[in-house]
Amino acid sequence: MKQAIERLHQLTVWGRWAVVMGLWLSVGSWSIWQMRKVWEVAWEYFTWAAIRVGIMFHPLATIGLGLCIGMTLSVLIWQSRNILWGLPESEQSWLQQRVLKIQQQGPSHPLWAKVYGDNHSKTNQSN
């Protein structure tokens, strides 16, 4: 059971980073492209006024970049907390409940092969 929880946690980590990468590749790249003139001016004459004008005249691109930066920082802080202090009790119980649901549904669950793989039949025989 502990190994299944660890695998599900790893899948959660990979899933969060996949969402962040998807955001940067879609929303982030579009936002950066929309603000390309602002970046040119800021690169040549860096002033806070240039940044402020860029933000004011490109509100959707600013929101998109804010979303991408916010999600990236959120996942970095979440993963750093887990590495430094371990998983909180609430998250461990959530993972355990999810593993039990996957186990109850059996091989028809989409995450069955990722969480249990080939080892599930061996661990059942040893119990």
Domain boundaries, the chain: 2-120
Q: Give how far Cα 51 sits from Cα of 24, 31, 56, 67, 72, Å.
A: 20, 14, 9, 17, 21
Mean pLDDT (the chain) is 88
User: Is it the case that residue 24 has pLDDT exceeding 70?
Assistant: yes
What pLDDT, on a 0 to 100 scale, did the predictor assign at position 120? Answer: 55
Comparing 73 with 112, the larger pLDDT belongs to 73
Angle among Cα 111, 115, 118 to the nearest 5 degrees reads 110
What pLDDT does residue 127 have? 43
The pLDDT of residue 33 is above 90: yes
pLDDT on residue 126: 44
